[in-house]
Amino acid sequence: MVFLVFISFQVLADDGAQVQVIEPFIEMHSGPAGGFPVIHVAAKNEWITVLKRRTNWFKVETNKGVQGWIKQDALHKTVSFSGDPVSLADGSFDSFSQRNFEFGALGGSFEGVPSMTVFADWVATENLMAGITLTQALGDLSENQLFLVRVQHTTFPDWLLSPYVTLGAGKIRTKPRANLVQSGDETRTSDLLAAGLGLRYYVAQNFILKLEYQHLQALTNRDENEDLEQWTLGFAVFF
């Protein structure tokens, strides 16, 4: 009975694992997609080193120093040093753990009125992210625009469903609706502090769902600061 060795990408990348081609050849492309041209062919019995992964493509290097990209299926045409066939589970969650950026949109409620948020995050480590969010909320009385710079800590980054916490600071701009300007209200801009809790769920391919609650505090010029709440639900894509 053939024994299949399931090797995670992390092991391949950390160890610079070498595998041997057992099929007549493996095509190596110039980039991580089928549309990139074939630049080299690794022949049978040749050893290649796995360098890194991008979605279902792996960057490899031959013993002669030629580098290129092969599809995940091509690794099934190789064996390990012990001679066992190499097989990788198809779950692209591995690529999620190697992402560098996230971009997304969230819809929700800000102080009881509809809101829309867009964000961009940079993944610093598997636990920490930093990014910016822009929110617009339109109510019957006013229009609110929020800008935040945030950091996010994910407690269990290797879970499909994982909680996270956020801290941020920024600005909030509140503009009264046109029919209320005459009452003496004016557009005002205040400093903003934010703390939040969220749940992140990896869906498939490059998509994530996010549910988030934020408590915000506007530092106004009045005697008391203003406490605000926001709930959001939406999606993100990662690269």
Rg over CA atoms, the chain: 25
Query: What are 74's two structure tokens?
Result: 């091509």
- pTM, two decimals, is 0.62
Is pLDDT at 158 greater than 90 in this prediction?
no
Residue 58: pLDDT band by 50, 70, 90 thresholds? confident
Phi, psi of 30 (to 5 degrees): -80, -15
pLDDT 10s digits, 173-193:
998 876 554 545 678 899 999
Question: Quick one: pLDDT at residue 236?
Answer: 94
Of 30-39, 78-87, 112-121, which range is least confident?
Answer: 78-87
Query: Which of 4-13, 139-148, 220-229 reaches the highest mean pLDDT?
Result: 139-148
Top-confidence residue, 122 or 238? 122
With a cut of 50, say whether residue 8 has pLDDT above it: no
CB burial of 35-51 (b: ≥16 within 10 Å; e: otherwise) equals eeeeebebeeebebbbe
The enclosing H or E element of 134 equals strand 128-138
d(CA 85, CA 19) in angstroms, rounded, equals 9
Angstrom distance (rounded) from CA 69 to CA 29: 5
pLDDT of residue 61: 92
Phi first, then psi: what are they for 178, rounded to 5°?
-55, -35
How many C-beta neighbours within 10 Å does residue 102 have? 22
Provide the pLDDT confidence category of residue 130 given band limits of 50, 70 and 90: very high
Average pLDDT over residues 122-133: 93
Residue 57 contacts residue 33 (beta carbons within 8 Å) = yes
- Residue 230 confidence (pLDDT) above 90: yes
Better-predicted residue by pLDDT, 112 or 16? 112
Give CA separation, 65 vs 27, 30, 74, in Å: 15, 14, 19
pLDDT at position 72 is 81
Measured CA to CA, the distance from residue 162 to residue 211 in angstroms comes to 11
DSSP lists the bridge partners of residue 170 as 148, 192
CA-closest candidate to residue 205, choices 236, 165, 227, 171: 236
Query: Would you state the pLDDT for residue 10?
Result: 44
- Going by C-beta distance under 8 Å and a sequence separation of 6 or more, which residues neighbour residue 147? 132, 133, 134, 135, 170, 171, 172, 192
For 75, 96, 165, 236, the CA distances from 202, given in Å and listed in that order, are 25, 8, 17, 10
CA-to-CA dists, residue 178 to 143, 173, 181, 182, 222, angstroms: 10, 15, 6, 8, 23
pLDDT of residue 7: 44
